[in-house]
Structure formats: C-alpha cells, structure tokens
C-alpha cells in the first residue's frame, strides 16, 4: 500500500490520486548561530531527525523531497528504502498557468 505522509494530495499524470493520510513526516532541525549580516542574524540549519516517519517495511511512504533528502543524511544507506517523493523535477511534470504543479509522472526514491 502507498501511504501519503505529506499534507497535500499527490496527483499522478495517469489520474491516480494519493490523499493525505493525516500523518505528516517532517524534518527536525537545530539552528546554530552564524554571522550577523548587515544587522540581520543568520543561522546554519542542522538536521537532527524526523517526525512521523514509520519504520515498517510493509508500505511505501510518500514524503516531501526535503524529508527524502534528509533521510539520506542521517540514516544508514539501506534504511527507508520504501520512502519516495513526488518526482516534481521530471520533464513530464504538469503545471498550471501560474507554474504550480498539477500532477507528476511518478516518484523519486532510494530504491
């Protein structure tokens, strides 16, 4: 089963829709003080973990590309092989006249 862990419905070009499950996977971060730039503070973001990311391997989970990328930085290479993100950068992505994504061809992942 494919479970959508994003807050948005994911529409595929073939017409399938994956509604949000109600659980949203998120990246947790700490912020380390950086330089002050013309009086404005800055911070370096450090990924510290994940929220709401299931550990079972029975399902495939749709997450944001930010979550998918963060998984690669904090977990073992073989962990979370069953996590994917919408392939928004694919050439077959459909956008509306304002440039907003309408649907995607499929998923990007670590498989």
Backbone angles phi, psi at 6, to 5 degrees: -110, 165
pLDDT for 74 equals: 79
pLDDT for 77 equals: 59
Q: Write out the chain's pLDDT in tens, 111 residues.
A: 999 999 999 999 999 999 999 999 999 999 999 999 999 999 999 999 899 988 888 899 999 999 998 887 777 656 677 899 999 999 999 999 999 999 999 999 865
- Is the pTM value of this prediction over 0.75? yes
**What distance, in Å, lies between the first and last C-alpha atoms of the chain?**
16
């Amino acid at each position: 089963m494919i479970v959508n862990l994003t807050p948005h419905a994911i529409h595929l070009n073939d017409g399938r829709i994956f509604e949000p499950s109600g659980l949203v996977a998120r990246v947790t971060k700490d912020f380390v003080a950086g330089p002050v730039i013309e009086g404005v503070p800055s911070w370096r973001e450090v990924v510290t973990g994940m929220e709401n990311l299931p550990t079972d391997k029975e399902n495939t989970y749709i997450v944001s590309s930010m979550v998918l990328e963060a998984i690669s930085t904090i977990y073992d290479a073989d962990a979370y092989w069953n996590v994917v993100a919408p392939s928004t950068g694919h050439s077959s992505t459909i956008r509306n006249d304002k440039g907003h994504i309408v649907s995607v061809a499929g998923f990007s992942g670590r498989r």
